[in-house]
Amino acid sequence: MTEPTHTSHSARAQFVSGRTVENLIVKGHLDLSRLTNLETLPEVLEADSLDLSHCTSLKKLPARLHVRRLVVNGCTALEALPTGLKCSEVDARNTALRTLPADLSVKFRLNLENCTELVTLPAGLKVGSLIVRGCTALESLPEKLDVCFLDISGCVKLTRFPVSGQVRFGHLLARGCVQLASLPGWLTDLSQLDVRDCANLTQLPGALRVSSWLEMAGSGLQFLPMTMQDVQLRWRGVPISRQIAFQPETIAPQSILDEPNAELRRVMLERVGYEAFLKQTTYQVLDRDRDAGGERNLLRVEFADDEPLVCVSVFCPSTGRQYLIRVPPAMQTCHQAVAWIAGFTNPNEYHPLLET
Our finding on whether 72 is near other proteins (CB under 8 A) is: no
Q: Which stretch binds other proteins (CB under 8 A): 48-56, 255-263, 292-300, 332-340?
A: 48-56
Q: Which is nearer to other proteins, 67 or 256 (CB)?
A: 67
Q: Which stretch binds other proteins (CB under 8 A): 37-45, 102-110, 316-324, 333-341?
A: 102-110
Our finding on whether 270 is near other proteins (CB under 8 A) is: no
Kindly state the smallest distance separating residue 71's Cβ from other proteins, in Å: 9
Kindly state the smallest distance separating residue 148's Cβ from other proteins, in Å: 5
Our finding on whether 191 is near other proteins (CB under 8 A) is: yes
Our finding on whether 223 is near other proteins (CB under 8 A) is: no
Candidate list 6, 8, 267, 331; residue touching other proteins; CB under 8 A: 8
Burial 150-184 (b: 16+ CB within 10 A, else e): bbbbbbeebeebeeebbbeebbbbbbbbbebeebb
Kindly state the smallest distance separating residue 308's Cβ from other proteins, in Å: 30
Rounded-to-integer distance, Cα 116 and Cα 154, Å = 11
Q: What is the DSSP string of 258-273?
A: H---HHHHHHHHHHH-
Which are the contacts of 47, defined by CB distance < 8 A and separation ≥ 6?
8, 24, 25, 26, 27, 28, 29, 30, 66, 67
Q: What is the DSSP string of 197-253?
A: T-TT-----TT-EEEEEEE-TT-------GGGTTSEEEETTEEE-HHHHH-GGG--H
State the DSSP code for 142: P
Q: Which is nearer to other proteins, 75 or 339 (CB)?
A: 75
Candidate list 45, 46, 51, 175; residue touching other proteins; CB under 8 A: 51
Q: Which is nearer to other proteins, 150 or 272 (CB)?
A: 150
Burial 19-36 (b: 16+ CB within 10 A, else e): eeeeebbbeeebbbbebe
Kindly state the smallest distance separating residue 90's Cβ from other proteins, in Å: 12
Most distant CA atoms of the chain, gap in Å: 83
Our finding on whether 169 is near other proteins (CB under 8 A) is: yes
Q: Which stretch binds other proteins (CB under 8 A): 17-25, 225-233, 270-278, 332-340?
A: 225-233
What residues make contact with other proteins under the rule CB under 8 A?
Answer: 8, 28-29, 31, 48-49, 51, 68-69, 88-89, 107-109, 127-129, 148-149, 168-171, 189, 191-192, 210-213, 230-232
